[in-house]
Amino acid sequence: MRRDKESKSAPIGVITKVLQILETLNDSPTGMSLKDIAEKTALNKTTAYRVLSHLAQERYVFRDPGGAYAIGVRLARLGSGASYQATLRKISRPMLEELAQITGETISLAVLEGREVLYLDVIESAHTFRQVSHIGMRHPLYCTALGKAMLAYYPEGEQEYLLSGVTFERFTAHTITCAANLQKELSMIRRRGYSLDNEEVYLGSRCIGAPIFDDSNEVMAALSVSGPTTRVTRKAVSIFAAAARRAATEVSKSLAAGSHSFVAGPTPRQQNVSLASTRTWRAHEIKYPSQ
């Protein structure tokens, strides 16, 4: 009889431990170490590690390269958009930082919110003359590399819905101002796997975007490399695009928690370009003006 009671109560104890850990992580969006989690929840480290390992395996918890734990993609989706965005920022950060080192230019991470691009994270270039962006900034989806990178991979019906409510405003002489021309460009983006903003928002600025997919291979965000046309030259576009697509692929793989079936975009040859080889190309092929 005592054994029956214990078997019924044991799962409740496990659930309590799981909830303690999740509530603790929810209060710390930047992540916590195993030691801190154990102390905060009053669980021993072995128990906390066992619970965290299972939650990570099921993608309810994410463990970053430094060993810190945070709310994972699967759980964040069940919560508020803010939680999901914080998770996306945390998972993407290492790849954004490496992309910034490779290109030397401003790196941005964004999602679509309504018919606008919402910037979730920005790493500004160290150059004095640089593209200036900031977290929380919004831009129209039709004229930004970030917006077009996401829009290109939306299903046709969703594309039509989004574009039906767009007022095409001309920011420069290069801005796309009609849906027909934009649709042609979206088809080109799907073929080559990256998007371009060729001075469409700001004169003298060029931006390259790459889509980020979830574990269902649905586009959910995008990252970009942006800078002045004097450095982000037409010759440099293919080099930066390869680096951006590779970084976006790595983010997507992290979001898919190790799924080996993910393919980011339609050009496998570019997808095989490693970040390391891109760094070598940059050193030999891109000439930066003195600052």
Query: Tens digits of per-residue pLDDT, 177-223?
Result: 988 899 999 999 999 999 999 999 889 899 999 999 987 788 989 99
Q: Tell me the pTM.
A: 0.65
pLDDT value, residue 270: 30
Is the predicted pLDDT of residue 110 greater than 90, yes or no?
A: yes
Tokens at 54, concatenated: 């299972």
Helices (H), 32-80: 34-41, 45-57, 73-76
Q: Which of 6-15, 25-34, 154-163 has the lowest mean pLDDT?
A: 6-15
**DSSP 3-state of 29:** coil
- Average pLDDT of the residues in 254-280: 39
In the DSSP assignment, the letter for residue 256 is T
Tokens at 130, concatenated: 């640089």
The neighbour count for residue 16, using CB atoms within 10 Å, is 12
Tokens at 272, concatenated: 């095989």
Is the predicted pLDDT of residue 19 greater than 90, yes or no?
A: no
The Cα–Cα gap between 231 and 95 comes to 21
pLDDT value, residue 258: 34
With contact defined as beta carbons under 8 Å apart, do 32 and 45 qualify?
no
**DSSP 3-state of 211:** strand
The Cα–Cα gap between 41 and 58 comes to 21
pLDDT tier at 11, thresholds 50, 70, 90? low
Q: Which of 15-29, 76-90, 147-161 has the lowest mean pLDDT?
A: 76-90
Is the predicted pLDDT of residue 62 greater than 90, yes or no?
A: no
Count CA within 13 A, CB hemisphere, residue 264.
Answer: 36
